[in-house]
Amino acid sequence: MSMAEGITVKKAENPSEWYTQVIQKAELIDYTDVSGCYVFRPRSFAIWEKLREFFDCEIKKLGVQNLYFPMFIPESFFKKEAEHVEGFAPEVAWVTHSGNTELKERLAIRPTSEAIISDSFRKWTRSWKDLPIKVNQWCNVVRWEFNNPQPFLRTREFLWQEGHTLFVTKEDADKEVMDILELYRRISEELYAMPALLGKKSEKEKFAGADYTTSVECFLPTGKAIQLATSHALGQNFAKAFEIEYTDANEEKQHPYQNSWGISTRSIGVMVIMHSDDKGLVVPPRVALNKAVIVPITTKKVNEEVIKKAKEVYRELKGFNVIFDDREGYSPGWKYNEWEMKGIPVRIEIGPKDVEKDQVVFVRRDNGEKVFVPILNVKERLKEMLEDMQGVLLDNAKSFLKENTLFPKNKEELKTAVNDGKLSLINWCGGCEESIKELGAKTLNMPFDQNPKGSCVNCGSKAKFEIYVSKSY
Ligand code: 86X
């Protein structure tokens, strides 16, 4: 695959091949010899670092501390929460040997860390004075998926943060579930420019170890939804299974209320599918590694002058991590295509005519808008253009969401909506998820603002909830 070659299929015509090409040609991802395991190249790892920087700073304001637990979890720990792990068991990867010697007890490579963290919580929790405990780790996890793997979206190893907290009161725990969900909403909307659907998971879709599960879901231009992040109220379930206890002010033993919450590198793939186009990657400026690229347009006659001016502009923009592309042997047009494919938010062209007029040309990645900018104003104007692009990406995604959300009134309408790749908000009885699955769809979540009316769109019995339904990844 030569770099000169652009994306050869259209997003609307073959979304899965389009995705595969975009992430490789934009140098986000590389494949390895292990199926389901991918290289996060610098252009995607930088996006992850931006997310991490934002979220770390915000959770620290909430009193959460970072720490690190081992990735090996003794099998006996999982037996304590057997009911919660049941469905996941086939995906757990085990370490059984060191060299040729079998271990006394096999060790799981963490698929999530509730078990090992709960074991420490038991030791750290003595008195009500020890609470709350709020910790978080940034780490890798392994889930040996058998469904067809997809870079970022479904991988056998991925990166995430997992937060784990303990509280004296249910009220404090409930509040934190929502505080964290709000941070995930901000990642979705403010960093990734993606409208977020917030709500509570159905009984079937919640984590089995939780009292309730909340989530942020995103609906993509491919007509499928995907979960972006999740925040669980674990209640006292793990506390009971792992004997986490404290003595309250009346000297009585109590189990604390526990939460866990996470967002992963899946979110990068969601962002790619949301915004990118037939030319390649589109990245919201806030999470872009390089905010702009300068392409000097030189001729044999006018070279030094152009390079000199372009360098001036480059120095002026040093806060924006700008790429200076003065490579020889590539035409300007070739360079434009390459940087568009890689999703650099703004291209800055400067040629002989521009030098004469003390100006440059800005070209915006999302809409191709072209403007002449006096060299004196490049810094201010670049900042404005990036902010505008960030806003427009979110606005466009919001319009798309609005135009593609339907309110089917009966099963026929729901079926049509699902087949047409629409998002449906339905009145729902709280059961009958099997027959929604049969339509090729899933329940996403129940928005917090509930107004159920009439009868269940799917089965006709009394509606108790409103819930989002669509195809999903
Ligand atoms: C569910 C629970 C939770 C902290 C999050 O969703 C966010 C961050 N953890 C995750 N869960 C699993 O997915 C799971 C998977 C496997 Cl393979 C397993 F063996 C156990 C699990 N337990 C919980």
Contacts of 235 (CB under 8 A, 6+ apart): 170, 173, 210, 211, 257, 258
Q: Given ligand 1 and candidates 79, 112, 144, which is best to mutate, with the most ligand atoms within 8 Å of its CB? A: 112
367-390 pLDDT per residue, tens: 999 999 999 999 999 999 999 999
174-203 pLDDT per residue, tens: 999 999 999 999 999 999 999 999 999 999
Contacts of 175 (CB under 8 A, 6+ apart): none
* pTM for this entry: 0.97
pLDDT at 316 over 60: yes
The residue-averaged pLDDT of 422-435 equals 96
pLDDT at 406 over 90: yes
Contacts of 439 (CB under 8 A, 6+ apart): 414, 415, 418
CA 456 to centroid of ligand 1, rounded, Å: 31
Q: Given ligand 1 and candidates 207, 227, 258, which is best to mutate, with the most ligand atoms within 8 Å of its CB? A: 207
Give the separation between CA 417 and CA 146, rounded to whole angstroms.
Answer: 29
Give the separation between CA 265 and CA 282, rounded to whole angstroms.
Answer: 17
pLDDT at res. 83: 86
207 lines ligand 1 (CB under 6 A): yes
85 lines ligand 1 (CB under 6 A): yes
> Mutual orientation of helices 378-403 and 304-316 as an angle, nearest 10°?
70
Q: Kind and range of the H or E element at 65?
A: strand 65-66
261 lines ligand 1 (CB under 6 A): yes
Under the banding of pLDDT at 50, 70 and 90, the label for residue 4 is low
Closest of 158, 180, 143, 219 to residue 445, by C-alpha: 219
The residue-averaged pLDDT of 21-34 equals 98
DSSP code at position 2: -
CA 113 to centroid of ligand 1, rounded, Å: 7
CA 467 to centroid of ligand 1, rounded, Å: 23
Residue whose CA is at the smallest distance from ligand 1 atom 19: 88
pLDDT at res. 178: 98
Give the separation between CA 444 and CA 225, rounded to whole angstroms.
Answer: 8
48-73 pLDDT per residue, tens: 999 999 999 999 999 999 999 999 99
Closest of 65, 56, 269, 1 to residue 152, by C-alpha: 269
pLDDT at res. 210: 97
Query: What is the overall mean pLDDT for the chain?
Result: 97
Q: Given ligand 1 and candidates 88, 134, 160, 238, which is best to mutate, with the most ligand atoms within 8 Å of its CB? A: 88
pLDDT at 1 over 60: no
